[in-house]
Amino acid sequence: MAFNEYGKITSIGLRHARDAFRDPETVGAQWQPLNYHSEPDFGAAMADYEGFVEALGLADAKVHYLPDGEGLSIDSIYVRDASIPSPNGVIHCNMGKPARQAEPGVNGSGYADHGVGIAGAITGEGRIEGGDFVWLDDKTCAVANGYRTNPEGIRQLKALLGQGIHVEVCPLPHYKGPSDVFHLMSILSPLDKDLALVYSPLMPVPFRNWLLERGLIFVEVPDEEFESMGCNVLATAPRRCVMVEGNPETRRRLEAAGAKS
């Protein structure tokens, strides 16, 4: 099995918006305590998610829906944050956002039902979220040190990954503070072994130089499209990706680099 963020997706675990959001009343009650910038439109979210699933189907990815469970919030739609895939199986994260503590266990039961092994879990004072973790190749990964992932979580992660895996640590900037939704993948989305979509203004210089030294070519997200999630792109295969509508300059730059959305 290959470990990277740009290989062809053949199987993927999701939680549909209808299961995470439940109903308009749930969204209305939770969006402010969970620090959303605005209230999600329930109907639009259902339609948008169906479009996302359709895009995955067009990419020939088999979708597995993860189960519901006690203690989940509307944040549980972001299933990537709760688990990290590894050569030894899935690693359960220990969420930096307290309201999301139930997600790793619930999601993990869903992975187990589909025959995916569990390598272990981040526990105690360790904190880590999957959005702060990126596989670059089978032997190399990057992890953020920020408000959602701490040094103890990184120490435990290294132990669970085992010897032979290089873990590059990227200190994240304060940016909008501990209540904001900001991960490593807010500024880095690999698209191929030698291509990545990045937002350089928030990228630490040593980490950015390390990526360049590895031979990565950068597609830079323009300032005016960063807040509209221009850097949040999912690669479904090398240089093929799904992106959020409304970022035309980012799309133009991706296409100029040979990536298709």
- String of b and e for 184-221 (b: at least 16 CB within 10 Å)? bbbbbbbbbeebbbbbeeebeeebbeebeeeebebbeb
pLDDT of residue 2: 66
Distance CA 94, CA 127 (A): 5
pLDDT of residue 112: 83
Question: What are the residue boundaries of the structural domains of the chain, listed by start?
Answer: 1-180, 187-261
Hey, CA dihedral for 7, 134, 48, 175, is it positive or negative? negative
The answer to whether 157 and 184 have CB atoms below 8 angstroms apart is: no
Which pLDDT tens digit goes with each residue over 203-242? 999 999 999 999 999 999 999 999 999 999 999 999 999 9
Which DSSP string do the residues of 59-84 spell out, in sequence order?
A: TTPEEEEPPP-TT--GGGG-GGGGEE
Query: What number of CA atoms fall less than 13 Å from residue 82's CA on the CB side?
Result: 26
Which pLDDT tens digit goes with each residue over 65-113? 998 899 999 999 999 999 999 998 999 999 999 999 999 999 988 888 8
Q: Report, as an integer, the average pLDDT of 243-254.
A: 96
Query: Residue 149 pLDDT > 90, yes or no?
Result: yes
The answer to whether 63 and 57 have CB atoms below 8 angstroms apart is: yes
Distance CA 247, CA 220 (A): 12
pLDDT of residue 3: 86
Superfamily of structural domain 1-180: L-arginine/glycine Amidinotransferase; Chain A (3.75.10.10)
- pTM exceeds 0.75 for this model: yes
pLDDT of residue 261: 82
Which pLDDT tens digit goes with each residue over 9-22? 999 999 999 999 99
